[in-house]
Amino acid sequence: MAAIELGHLKKFVLRIPSLYFCSIRLTSMCTQSCMQCGIPAQSDGSFIDLEHFETILKKLKRHGNKRINLTGGEPAIHPHLEEIFRLLAKYEFTNTALLTNLYYFEALQDRVIDLACKYDIGINTSYDGLADVADKLRGATDVQNIVEEGVRKINEARRREDYSHRPTATVVISQINLHQIPEIIQRIKELGWNLNIDVYRYSSENHREQDEMKITSRDELLNLLPLIQQTQHLKTPLWYFDGWQKHKHKQCPYMISPTFGSKFFVHETGDLYTCLPEPIGNLINDDIKDIFASEKWKDAKAQFAQCPGCWNTCYTISSRAVSYLHWGTIRQYLLKRPKLKSAAAVYL
Ligand SMILES: C[S@@+](CC[C@H](N)C(=O)[O-])C[C@H]1O[C@@H](n2cnc3c(N)ncnc32)[C@H](O)[C@@H]1O
Ligand code: SF4
Ligand code: SF4
Protein backbone atom coordinates (compact mmCIF):
# COMPACT_ATOMS: atom_id res chain seq x y z
CA MET A 1 0.00 0.00 0.00
CA ALA A 2 2.80 2.37 1.02
CA ALA A 3 4.61 1.49 -2.23
CA ILE A 4 1.56 2.51 -4.24
CA GLU A 5 1.25 5.82 -2.39
CA LEU A 6 4.96 6.47 -2.89
CA GLY A 7 4.50 5.55 -6.55
CA HIS A 8 1.73 8.11 -6.82
CA LEU A 9 3.92 10.79 -5.30
CA LYS A 10 6.70 10.04 -7.77
CA LYS A 11 4.21 10.24 -10.66
CA PHE A 12 2.87 13.50 -9.26
CA VAL A 13 6.34 15.04 -9.29
CA LEU A 14 7.08 13.72 -12.79
CA ARG A 15 3.55 14.65 -14.04
CA ILE A 16 2.87 11.08 -15.17
CA PRO A 17 -0.77 9.90 -15.19
CA SER A 18 -1.60 7.33 -12.54
CA LEU A 19 -4.62 6.14 -14.60
CA TYR A 20 -6.52 6.88 -11.41
CA PHE A 21 -9.87 6.95 -13.29
CA CYS A 22 -10.25 4.48 -16.09
CA SER A 23 -13.20 3.32 -18.17
CA ILE A 24 -13.02 -0.10 -19.75
CA ARG A 25 -15.31 -0.75 -22.68
CA LEU A 26 -16.52 -4.36 -22.60
CA THR A 27 -18.10 -4.14 -26.05
CA SER A 28 -19.27 -1.47 -28.50
CA MET A 29 -22.39 -3.48 -29.26
CA CYS A 30 -25.54 -2.09 -27.74
CA THR A 31 -29.22 -2.81 -27.20
CA GLN A 32 -30.14 0.77 -28.11
CA SER A 33 -29.25 3.02 -31.00
CA CYS A 34 -29.15 6.49 -29.46
CA MET A 35 -29.32 9.56 -31.67
CA GLN A 36 -26.29 11.15 -30.01
CA CYS A 37 -23.99 8.14 -29.86
CA GLY A 38 -21.50 6.85 -32.42
CA ILE A 39 -20.23 3.84 -30.45
CA PRO A 40 -22.39 0.96 -31.79
CA ALA A 41 -21.42 1.96 -35.35
CA GLN A 42 -17.77 1.24 -34.41
CA SER A 43 -18.55 -2.33 -33.37
CA ASP A 44 -17.06 -5.36 -35.08
CA GLY A 45 -19.30 -7.58 -32.93
CA SER A 46 -16.60 -8.40 -30.37
CA PHE A 47 -16.47 -8.47 -26.59
CA ILE A 48 -13.39 -7.93 -24.48
CA ASP A 49 -11.54 -11.20 -24.04
CA LEU A 50 -11.32 -12.41 -20.43
CA GLU A 51 -7.58 -13.04 -20.52
CA HIS A 52 -7.02 -9.61 -22.01
CA PHE A 53 -9.29 -8.10 -19.37
CA GLU A 54 -7.19 -9.73 -16.64
CA THR A 55 -3.94 -8.49 -18.21
CA ILE A 56 -5.38 -4.97 -18.32
CA LEU A 57 -6.52 -5.15 -14.69
CA LYS A 58 -3.11 -6.37 -13.51
CA LYS A 59 -1.35 -3.52 -15.31
CA LEU A 60 -3.79 -0.91 -14.03
CA LYS A 61 -3.52 -2.21 -10.48
CA ARG A 62 0.26 -2.12 -10.56
CA HIS A 63 0.17 1.40 -11.96
CA GLY A 64 -2.11 2.76 -9.21
CA ASN A 65 -5.65 2.85 -10.65
CA LYS A 66 -8.36 3.43 -8.03
CA ARG A 67 -11.60 3.57 -9.98
CA ILE A 68 -12.93 1.56 -12.90
CA ASN A 69 -16.08 2.22 -14.89
CA LEU A 70 -17.29 -0.68 -16.99
CA THR A 71 -18.89 0.76 -20.08
CA GLY A 72 -19.93 0.06 -23.65
CA GLY A 73 -21.98 0.00 -25.83
CA GLU A 74 -23.96 -2.03 -23.37
CA PRO A 75 -21.56 -3.76 -20.95
CA ALA A 76 -24.29 -5.92 -19.38
CA ILE A 77 -24.54 -8.05 -22.54
CA HIS A 78 -20.97 -9.34 -22.10
CA PRO A 79 -21.42 -13.14 -22.02
CA HIS A 80 -19.03 -13.50 -19.04
CA LEU A 81 -20.17 -10.61 -16.87
CA GLU A 82 -19.80 -12.61 -13.65
CA GLU A 83 -16.23 -13.54 -14.55
CA ILE A 84 -15.52 -9.86 -15.24
CA PHE A 85 -16.86 -8.95 -11.77
CA ARG A 86 -14.95 -11.83 -10.19
CA LEU A 87 -11.70 -10.61 -11.71
CA LEU A 88 -12.36 -7.11 -10.38
CA ALA A 89 -12.82 -8.61 -6.91
CA LYS A 90 -9.71 -10.79 -7.30
CA TYR A 91 -7.55 -7.71 -7.98
CA GLU A 92 -9.33 -5.76 -5.23
CA PHE A 93 -10.91 -3.06 -7.37
CA THR A 94 -13.44 -1.91 -4.82
CA ASN A 95 -14.73 1.21 -6.52
CA THR A 96 -16.32 -0.04 -9.71
CA ALA A 97 -19.41 1.17 -11.54
CA LEU A 98 -21.37 -0.45 -14.35
CA LEU A 99 -22.68 2.07 -16.88
CA THR A 100 -25.77 0.35 -18.19
CA ASN A 101 -28.89 1.47 -20.06
CA LEU A 102 -30.97 -1.33 -18.38
CA TYR A 103 -32.69 -1.84 -21.75
CA TYR A 104 -32.78 -5.61 -22.04
CA PHE A 105 -35.02 -8.54 -21.23
CA GLU A 106 -36.16 -9.17 -17.68
CA ALA A 107 -34.03 -12.23 -17.00
CA LEU A 108 -30.89 -10.25 -17.86
CA GLN A 109 -32.00 -7.33 -15.68
CA ASP A 110 -32.43 -9.78 -12.78
CA ARG A 111 -29.03 -11.31 -13.38
CA VAL A 112 -27.24 -7.96 -13.67
CA ILE A 113 -28.83 -6.73 -10.43
CA ASP A 114 -28.03 -9.99 -8.59
CA LEU A 115 -24.41 -9.77 -9.73
CA ALA A 116 -24.17 -6.08 -8.81
CA CYS A 117 -25.40 -7.00 -5.30
CA LYS A 118 -23.09 -10.00 -5.01
CA TYR A 119 -19.94 -8.16 -6.16
CA ASP A 120 -20.85 -4.74 -4.74
CA ILE A 121 -20.77 -2.90 -8.07
CA GLY A 122 -22.23 0.60 -8.47
CA ILE A 123 -24.90 1.12 -11.13
CA ASN A 124 -25.10 4.18 -13.34
CA THR A 125 -28.04 4.31 -15.75
CA SER A 126 -28.98 6.69 -18.54
CA TYR A 127 -32.37 8.27 -17.92
CA ASP A 128 -32.95 11.14 -20.28
CA GLY A 129 -36.40 10.86 -21.75
CA LEU A 130 -39.98 9.92 -21.03
CA ALA A 131 -42.45 8.11 -23.31
CA ASP A 132 -42.00 8.94 -27.03
CA VAL A 133 -39.05 11.24 -26.35
CA ALA A 134 -37.15 8.35 -24.72
CA ASP A 135 -37.86 6.11 -27.72
CA LYS A 136 -36.78 8.79 -30.16
CA LEU A 137 -33.57 9.66 -28.31
CA ARG A 138 -32.64 6.06 -27.65
CA GLY A 139 -33.65 4.65 -31.05
CA ALA A 140 -35.67 1.87 -29.42
CA THR A 141 -39.23 1.04 -28.39
CA ASP A 142 -40.91 1.12 -24.99
CA VAL A 143 -37.71 2.50 -23.45
CA GLN A 144 -39.28 4.19 -20.43
CA ASN A 145 -41.21 1.11 -19.30
CA ILE A 146 -38.34 -1.32 -19.77
CA VAL A 147 -35.79 0.92 -18.06
CA GLU A 148 -38.16 1.73 -15.20
CA GLU A 149 -38.76 -1.98 -14.66
CA GLY A 150 -35.00 -2.36 -14.09
CA VAL A 151 -34.95 0.74 -11.88
CA ARG A 152 -37.82 -0.68 -9.81
CA LYS A 153 -35.97 -3.98 -9.33
CA ILE A 154 -32.82 -2.15 -8.23
CA ASN A 155 -34.82 -0.21 -5.65
CA GLU A 156 -36.40 -3.45 -4.43
CA ALA A 157 -32.87 -4.81 -3.87
CA ARG A 158 -32.00 -1.61 -1.99
CA ARG A 159 -35.13 -1.88 0.10
CA ARG A 160 -34.25 -5.48 1.03
CA GLU A 161 -30.77 -4.11 1.86
CA ASP A 162 -29.21 -6.55 -0.63
CA TYR A 163 -27.76 -3.59 -2.47
CA SER A 164 -26.01 -0.83 -0.54
CA HIS A 165 -25.11 1.62 -3.32
CA ARG A 166 -27.15 4.64 -4.22
CA PRO A 167 -27.44 4.26 -8.02
CA THR A 168 -26.86 7.19 -10.35
CA ALA A 169 -29.09 8.37 -13.18
CA THR A 170 -27.30 10.28 -15.92
CA VAL A 171 -29.36 12.82 -17.81
CA VAL A 172 -27.98 14.21 -21.06
CA ILE A 173 -29.84 17.45 -21.77
CA SER A 174 -30.55 18.28 -25.41
CA GLN A 175 -33.06 20.45 -27.26
CA ILE A 176 -35.22 17.33 -27.69
CA ASN A 177 -35.73 16.58 -23.99
CA LEU A 178 -35.34 20.10 -22.53
CA HIS A 179 -39.08 20.38 -21.83
CA GLN A 180 -39.11 17.05 -19.94
CA ILE A 181 -36.16 17.78 -17.62
CA PRO A 182 -38.25 19.03 -14.65
CA GLU A 183 -40.34 15.85 -14.74
CA ILE A 184 -37.29 13.63 -15.19
CA ILE A 185 -35.53 15.28 -12.23
CA GLN A 186 -38.66 14.91 -10.12
CA ARG A 187 -38.79 11.21 -11.01
CA ILE A 188 -35.11 10.71 -10.08
CA LYS A 189 -35.68 12.55 -6.78
CA GLU A 190 -38.60 10.24 -6.00
CA LEU A 191 -36.43 7.22 -6.73
CA GLY A 192 -33.81 8.50 -4.29
CA TRP A 193 -31.04 8.11 -6.90
CA ASN A 194 -28.04 10.33 -7.51
CA LEU A 195 -28.42 12.76 -10.39
CA ASN A 196 -25.62 13.27 -12.87
CA ILE A 197 -26.12 16.01 -15.45
CA ASP A 198 -24.49 16.32 -18.84
CA VAL A 199 -25.28 18.31 -21.96
CA TYR A 200 -25.40 16.91 -25.48
CA ARG A 201 -22.08 17.40 -27.24
CA TYR A 202 -20.50 16.31 -30.51
CA SER A 203 -16.81 16.53 -29.76
CA SER A 204 -15.47 13.07 -30.58
CA GLU A 205 -16.07 10.15 -32.89
CA ASN A 206 -18.01 8.51 -30.06
CA HIS A 207 -20.65 11.20 -30.61
CA ARG A 208 -23.03 11.85 -33.47
CA GLU A 209 -23.74 15.37 -34.60
CA GLN A 210 -27.49 15.95 -34.64
CA ASP A 211 -28.81 19.46 -35.35
CA GLU A 212 -32.10 18.60 -33.65
CA MET A 213 -30.31 17.94 -30.35
CA LYS A 214 -28.25 21.13 -30.21
CA ILE A 215 -29.46 23.50 -27.51
CA THR A 216 -30.90 26.52 -29.31
CA SER A 217 -32.11 28.36 -26.24
CA ARG A 218 -29.36 28.92 -23.68
CA ASP A 219 -31.88 30.73 -21.48
CA GLU A 220 -34.05 27.63 -21.33
CA LEU A 221 -31.01 25.64 -20.19
CA LEU A 222 -30.13 28.27 -17.58
CA ASN A 223 -33.73 28.30 -16.33
CA LEU A 224 -33.23 24.68 -15.27
CA LEU A 225 -30.33 25.58 -12.99
CA PRO A 226 -32.26 26.32 -9.76
CA LEU A 227 -34.10 23.02 -10.11
CA ILE A 228 -30.92 21.04 -10.77
CA GLN A 229 -28.99 22.76 -8.00
CA GLN A 230 -31.69 22.04 -5.44
CA THR A 231 -31.62 18.30 -6.12
CA GLN A 232 -30.64 16.53 -2.93
CA HIS A 233 -28.42 13.86 -4.45
CA LEU A 234 -26.83 15.90 -7.21
CA LYS A 235 -23.47 14.32 -8.08
CA THR A 236 -22.27 16.86 -10.63
CA PRO A 237 -20.32 19.50 -8.68
CA LEU A 238 -22.14 22.83 -8.49
CA TRP A 239 -19.05 24.75 -9.64
CA TYR A 240 -19.35 23.04 -13.02
CA PHE A 241 -22.63 24.89 -13.66
CA ASP A 242 -20.84 28.26 -13.36
CA GLY A 243 -19.45 27.42 -16.79
CA TRP A 244 -22.99 27.40 -18.19
CA GLN A 245 -23.46 30.98 -17.10
CA LYS A 246 -20.20 32.66 -17.92
CA HIS A 247 -17.28 31.88 -20.15
CA LYS A 248 -14.79 29.79 -18.24
CA HIS A 249 -11.13 29.43 -19.06
CA LYS A 250 -9.81 26.18 -20.40
CA GLN A 251 -9.38 23.59 -17.64
CA CYS A 252 -7.74 20.64 -19.31
CA PRO A 253 -7.24 17.80 -16.81
CA TYR A 254 -4.45 16.25 -18.88
CA MET A 255 -2.49 19.46 -18.46
CA ILE A 256 -3.54 20.68 -15.02
CA SER A 257 -3.65 17.44 -13.06
CA PRO A 258 -2.24 14.62 -15.19
CA THR A 259 -1.53 12.30 -12.25
CA PHE A 260 -4.85 12.31 -10.44
CA GLY A 261 -7.30 14.19 -12.66
CA SER A 262 -6.92 12.89 -16.16
CA LYS A 263 -9.25 10.25 -17.55
CA PHE A 264 -8.44 7.28 -19.71
CA PHE A 265 -10.55 4.93 -21.77
CA VAL A 266 -9.61 1.35 -22.65
CA HIS A 267 -11.36 -0.16 -25.63
CA GLU A 268 -12.18 -3.86 -26.01
CA THR A 269 -9.05 -4.17 -28.19
CA GLY A 270 -6.89 -2.95 -25.28
CA ASP A 271 -6.22 0.37 -27.02
CA LEU A 272 -5.80 3.19 -24.50
CA TYR A 273 -7.43 6.54 -25.31
CA THR A 274 -7.54 10.02 -23.88
CA CYS A 275 -10.07 12.52 -25.28
CA LEU A 276 -8.14 12.45 -28.59
CA PRO A 277 -9.18 10.32 -31.56
CA GLU A 278 -5.89 8.35 -31.69
CA PRO A 279 -4.90 5.77 -29.03
CA ILE A 280 -1.71 6.44 -27.07
CA GLY A 281 -0.87 2.73 -26.68
CA ASN A 282 -2.31 -0.69 -26.02
CA LEU A 283 -2.71 -2.14 -22.54
CA ILE A 284 -2.53 -5.74 -23.73
CA ASN A 285 0.77 -5.36 -25.59
CA ASP A 286 2.53 -2.39 -24.02
CA ASP A 287 3.90 -1.59 -20.58
CA ILE A 288 2.24 1.47 -19.11
CA LYS A 289 5.59 3.10 -18.28
CA ASP A 290 6.62 2.73 -21.95
CA ILE A 291 3.35 4.33 -23.08
CA PHE A 292 4.05 7.44 -20.99
CA ALA A 293 7.64 7.58 -22.27
CA SER A 294 6.58 7.29 -25.92
CA GLU A 295 6.51 9.77 -28.79
CA LYS A 296 2.75 9.19 -29.04
CA TRP A 297 2.29 10.51 -25.50
CA LYS A 298 4.53 13.50 -26.32
CA ASP A 299 2.36 14.21 -29.39
CA ALA A 300 -0.80 13.87 -27.30
CA LYS A 301 0.53 16.39 -24.77
CA ALA A 302 1.25 18.85 -27.59
CA GLN A 303 -2.35 18.43 -28.77
CA PHE A 304 -3.76 19.00 -25.26
CA ALA A 305 -1.77 22.23 -25.11
CA GLN A 306 -3.17 23.43 -28.44
CA CYS A 307 -6.79 22.50 -27.74
CA PRO A 308 -9.01 25.58 -27.28
CA GLY A 309 -10.75 23.87 -24.33
CA CYS A 310 -13.89 21.98 -23.51
CA TRP A 311 -16.54 22.47 -20.88
CA ASN A 312 -18.23 19.20 -20.17
CA THR A 313 -18.67 16.97 -17.16
CA CYS A 314 -16.76 14.15 -18.79
CA TYR A 315 -13.41 15.93 -18.47
CA THR A 316 -13.90 19.17 -16.58
CA ILE A 317 -14.99 17.86 -13.19
CA SER A 318 -11.67 16.12 -12.54
CA SER A 319 -9.57 18.95 -13.89
CA ARG A 320 -8.67 21.11 -10.89
CA ALA A 321 -8.80 20.27 -7.19
CA VAL A 322 -9.05 23.97 -6.29
CA SER A 323 -12.33 24.26 -8.23
CA TYR A 324 -13.86 22.40 -5.29
CA LEU A 325 -13.02 25.32 -3.01
CA HIS A 326 -16.37 26.71 -4.06
CA TRP A 327 -18.85 27.48 -1.33
CA GLY A 328 -21.87 25.97 -3.08
CA THR A 329 -19.98 22.77 -3.89
CA ILE A 330 -18.61 22.42 -0.36
CA ARG A 331 -22.14 22.75 1.01
CA GLN A 332 -23.41 20.32 -1.64
CA TYR A 333 -21.02 17.56 -0.52
CA LEU A 334 -21.20 18.31 3.20
CA LEU A 335 -24.95 17.97 3.06
CA LYS A 336 -24.71 14.66 1.19
CA ARG A 337 -26.64 11.84 2.82
CA PRO A 338 -24.99 8.49 3.64
CA LYS A 339 -25.26 5.77 0.98
CA LEU A 340 -28.51 4.31 2.28
CA LYS A 341 -30.13 5.75 5.39
CA SER A 342 -32.90 3.27 5.80
CA ALA A 343 -34.71 0.77 3.68
CA ALA A 344 -37.90 2.76 4.15
CA ALA A 345 -36.33 5.71 2.33
CA VAL A 346 -36.17 3.75 -0.94
CA TYR A 347 -39.04 4.40 -3.33
CA LEU A 348 -40.26 1.89 -5.88
C1 LIG B 1 -21.69 5.75 -24.13
S2 LIG B 1 -22.84 5.42 -22.86
C3 LIG B 1 -22.36 3.80 -22.32
C4 LIG B 1 -23.24 3.23 -21.22
C5 LIG B 1 -24.67 2.85 -21.58
N6 LIG B 1 -24.79 2.30 -22.87
C7 LIG B 1 -25.60 4.02 -21.40
O8 LIG B 1 -26.07 4.61 -22.37
O9 LIG B 1 -25.84 4.38 -20.24
C10 LIG B 1 -22.28 6.46 -21.52
C11 LIG B 1 -22.95 7.80 -21.46
O12 LIG B 1 -22.54 8.58 -22.59
C13 LIG B 1 -23.63 9.42 -22.93
N14 LIG B 1 -23.46 9.97 -24.28
C15 LIG B 1 -23.43 9.30 -25.44
N16 LIG B 1 -23.30 10.17 -26.48
C17 LIG B 1 -23.26 11.42 -25.95
C18 LIG B 1 -23.16 12.73 -26.49
N19 LIG B 1 -23.07 12.95 -27.79
N20 LIG B 1 -23.17 13.78 -25.63
C21 LIG B 1 -23.25 13.58 -24.28
N22 LIG B 1 -23.34 12.37 -23.72
C23 LIG B 1 -23.36 11.29 -24.53
C24 LIG B 1 -24.80 8.45 -22.80
O25 LIG B 1 -26.05 9.12 -22.80
C26 LIG B 1 -24.48 7.77 -21.50
O27 LIG B 1 -24.98 8.51 -20.40
S1 SF4 C 1 -25.48 6.03 -25.40
FE2 SF4 C 1 -25.24 4.03 -24.44
S3 SF4 C 1 -27.22 3.05 -24.89
FE4 SF4 C 1 -27.04 4.70 -26.31
S5 SF4 C 1 -26.17 3.78 -28.17
FE6 SF4 C 1 -24.51 4.70 -26.94
S7 SF4 C 1 -23.74 3.03 -25.79
FE8 SF4 C 1 -25.77 2.41 -26.49
S1 SF4 D 1 -11.04 18.44 -25.23
FE2 SF4 D 1 -9.25 19.79 -24.92
S3 SF4 D 1 -9.52 20.79 -22.93
FE4 SF4 D 1 -10.96 19.05 -23.06
S5 SF4 D 1 -9.87 17.36 -22.06
FE6 SF4 D 1 -9.43 17.21 -24.25
S7 SF4 D 1 -7.57 18.38 -24.63
FE8 SF4 D 1 -8.32 18.93 -22.60
For the stretch 272-312, pLDDT in tens is 999 999 999 999 999 999 999 999 999 999 999 999 988 88
At residue 35, what is the residue type?
Answer: M
pTM of the model: 0.94
Query: What is the reported pLDDT for 336?
Result: 59
Query: What is the reported pLDDT for 344?
Result: 42
Which pLDDT tens digit goes with each residue over 13-25? 889 999 988 999 9
Q: Determine the average pLDDT of the residues in 330-334.
A: 88
**What Rg, from alpha-carbon coordinates, does the chain have?**
20
Looking at the DSSP bridge assignments, the partners of residue 236 are none
Cα of 74 vs centre of ligand 2, distance in Å, is 7
Ligand closest to the CA atom of residue 263: 3
Q: What distance in Å separates the CA atoms of residue 341 and residue 233, rounded to the nearest whole number?
A: 13
Which ligand 1 atom minimizes the distance to the CA of 202? 19
Q: Determine the average pLDDT of the residues in 137-164.
A: 98
Q: What distance in Å separates the CA atoms of residue 281 and residue 272, rounded to the nearest whole number?
A: 5
Residue 182 binned pLDDT confidence (cut-offs 50, 70, 90): very high
Helix (H/G/I), strand (E/B), else coil: 1: coil
Mutate to test the pocket of ligand 2, among 30, 36, 143 (most ligand atoms within 8 A of CB): 30
Cα of 37 vs centre of ligand 1, distance in Å, is 7
Nearest CA to ligand 2 atom 3: 32
Cα of 3 vs centre of ligand 2, distance in Å, is 39
Which pLDDT tens digit goes with each residue over 242-268? 888 887 778 899 999 999 889 999 999
Residue 337 binned pLDDT confidence (cut-offs 50, 70, 90): low
Ligand closest to the CA atom of residue 275: 3
Query: What is the reported pLDDT for 134?
Result: 98
Which pLDDT tens digit goes with each residue over 40-51? 999 999 999 999
Query: What is the reported pLDDT for 224?
Result: 96
Can you spell out the DSSP letters for 280-342? SEETTTS-HHHHTTSHHHHHHHHHHHH------HHHHTTT-GGGG--HHHHHHHHTPPPS-S-
Nearest CA to ligand 2 atom 6: 37
Does 323 or 152 have the greater pLDDT score? 152
Mean pLDDT score of the chain, rounded to an integer?
92
Q: Determine the average pLDDT of the residues in 225-247.
A: 91
Query: What is the reported pLDDT for 332?
Result: 87
Judge whether 202 and 242 are in contact, CB under 8 Å.
no
Cα of 195 vs centre of ligand 3, distance in Å, is 24
Q: What distance in Å separates the CA atoms of residue 82 and residue 95, rounded to the nearest whole number?
A: 16
Cα of 326 vs centre of ligand 2, distance in Å, is 33
Residue 318 binned pLDDT confidence (cut-offs 50, 70, 90): confident
Q: Determine the average pLDDT of the residues in 216-233.
A: 93
